Amino acid sequence: MEDVLKILEGNARISFEDLAKLTGEKEPELRKMVNKLEKKGVIVKYKAVINKELLPGERSVLALIEVKVSPQKDVGFDAIAERIYKFPEVKSCYLLSGTYDLLLVVEGKSIHTIADFVAEKLAPLEAVKGTVTHFMLKKYKEDGVILRKKKEIKRLTITY
Amino acid sequence: MDRFISHKVKNLAPSGIRQFFDLVLKTKDVVSLGVGEPDFAAPWRIREKAIYSLEQGYTSYTSNKGLLRLRLEIAHFLKKHYRLIYDPGEEILVTTGVSEGLDLAIRTILNPQERVILVYPCYVAYPAVVELSAGRVVPLYTSFEESFKINPEKLKELIKRYKPKAIILNYPTNPTGVSYSKEELKELWRVLSKEDLLVISDEIYDLITYNFKHTPFSTFKGAKGKTIYLGGFSKNYAMTGFRIGFACGRRELIEQMSKIHSFVMLCAPIISQLSAIEALNSQKDVESMVKEYRRRRDFIVGELNNLGFKTLLPQGTFYCFSSIKNTGLSSLEFASLLLKKVKVAVVPGEAFGLLYRDFIRVSFASPFPDLKEAILRIRKFKEQYLKN
């Protein structure tokens, strides 16, 4: 199973036929296994890692936002986290130890859209005690993938 | 100019294969199953160590035998991994790749006309190095039916008949991917221990073993004294371009080998030596590469057998040795036609011994999509250009 996950993590679009060849398992067994993993929520979804910097035209802006919040009775951070992560602008949301509590990854069309989101949606929440916004300037590596196109190093095509 | 070239050198290497190699290198868009080195770059921490060493100004010679720190690390690794004890002070020599270690070993032990047993099919450098030392090759042929493994009886016979000075073992084996279990090696040692000959054991692929743990030949009781153990970093750690390896053996042998080494090589490159120290602490990286090779192995061997090219499952390395007997072509004809028609490169079996015209060496040290593409092309080739 670990093998299958590892392969899917590297290439979510691999066919079951190839997956079977690589793992030595039977195709129907693999289908069953992957199905189960999907149902259990181990495999959450299949997505493409896209380097938007290479796209022509308008680019979106990403920001990391540190949020200090006051935890609430009985539910701790979960309730306030939920209120925040439900905004579609929030791409990721993590609870962290250290000097602040929540770390958000927020995407917007421009710096202004993100500033508006912080000013109008995030900061006014009662439980939010403060925010610090860092705009992302460049992405080098994401989800284990180096985004710069790799220069191909040529081996000799035939050697002993 | 010809008259200036020595006969020994002129007579080296079969020319037909050389021409085929040149043709492959000139052909564009080749999907290659002919490469004898990993497709991975050396793990980042090893490369980073190399950069750091340069930044720190490590650009000098080292002691002839190699940095003591590296020899200590090698000794430590062999002890931890194989329970093999070598004294880093006098029994280990750091070489510029196993290629140099092999050359040193042969030059150190061989007088003109003395014989060396080579196990065929074998890596191309072995007969060349023996011939350059004016030695004589005693071939021990292995067959597909024997799973390309040494038959101990045959070995006994050859020793009796030719009184060779040494035998070169290589396992896991290039080109067949064959390796030996501890029990099989014990059988061989049972024969060799009774004879007065030296074993040169090239174990450069030791960590790329799939079915069982690799057993160095010198681990058998009494074998250490009669074995020159050659190990390297090129294949295990994907460090071919670093040119770094090591030779272990009895003090007297290592001392004599070091003598030649100090005259012709002086020392292995210091940057490679420092990187090798890092490599010995990168076993996790090796494990993940081996895991990937194993997946590819299962794929390619399955596909080749499906296509009717009988192929044994390799126990080590990233090669398999497939039979093309039913095509009616010689391996060189097959490989040339395969290149011409569908641009797939393989190494003809006859490069590893003239008797192996019915085989090709297929390397699976290429990314999975390339292997898949190669198989598609070979299938097309078979359907369109082969008779059966």
Is B347's Cβ below 8 Å from some Cβ in A? yes
In a domain, A155, yes or no: no
- Give the mean pLDDT of B131-155: 97
The domain of A9 spans 2-40
Identity of the residue numbered B269: P
In a domain, A147, yes or no: no
In a domain, A29, yes or no: yes
Are A72 and A28 in a shared domain? no
Q: How far is A63 from chain B (nearest CA, A)?
A: 30
Structure tokens at A41: 């929520």
Are A64 and A91 in a shared domain? yes
Count CB atoms within 10 A of the CB of residue A1. Answer: 13
| CB contact (8 A) between residue A157 and residue B24 | yes
Are A31 and A88 in a shared domain? no
Q: How far is A33 from chain B (nearest CA, A)?
A: 19
Are A56 and A36 in a shared domain? no
* Per-residue model confidence (pLDDT) at position B11: 83
Is B273's Cβ below 8 Å from some Cβ in A? no
Residue A90, domain CATH? 3.30.70.920
| CB contact (8 A) between residue B24 and residue A23 | no
Count CB atoms within 10 A of the CB of residue B56. Answer: 9
Core vs surface per residue B95-119: b (16+ CB within 10 A) or e: bbbbbbbbbbbbbbbbeeebbbbbb
Helices (DSSP H) in B281-318: which residue ranges?
A: 283-306
All structural domains of chain B with their residue ranges: 2-42+284-385, 58-281
Picking from A24, A159, A160, the nearest residue to B298 by CB comes out as A24
In angstroms, the CA A160 to CA B348 distance is 10
Q: Does A75 have pLDDT greater than 80?
A: yes
In a domain, A154, yes or no: no
Are A34 and A63 in a shared domain? no
What's the CATH superfamily of B2-42+284-385?
Aspartate Aminotransferase, domain 1 (3.90.1150.10)
Are A35 and A56 in a shared domain? no
Are A118 and A58 in a shared domain? yes
CATH number of B58-281: 3.40.640.10
Contacts of B334 (CB under 8 A, 6+ apart): B324, B327, B348, B360
Indicate whether this complex's ipTM tops 0.90: no
Are A34 and A56 in a shared domain? no
In angstroms, the CA B193 to CA B223 distance is 7
| CB contact (8 A) between residue A158 and residue B35 | yes
**Domains identified in chain A, total number:** 2
Q: Does A53 have pLDDT greater than 80?
A: no
Note the pLDDT tens digit of each residue in B286-329.
Answer: 999 999 999 999 999 999 999 999 999 999 999 999 999 999 99
Are A61 and A138 in a shared domain? yes
Is A140's Cβ below 8 Å from some Cβ in B? no
* Count of pairs with CB atoms under 8 A, one residue in A, one in B: 47
Which of B69-73, B157-161, B280-284, B383-387 bottoms out in mean pLDDT, i.e. has the lowest? B383-387
With the CA atoms of B348, B166, B258 and B242 taken in that order, what torsion angle do they form, in degrees rounded to the nearest 10? 20
| CB contact (8 A) between residue A22 and residue B41 | no
Confidence of residue A22 (pLDDT cuts 50, 70, 90): confident
| CB contact (8 A) between residue B32 and residue A157 | yes
In angstroms, the CA B316 to CA B204 distance is 11
Note the pLDDT tens digit of each residue in B11-21.
Answer: 886 667 889 99
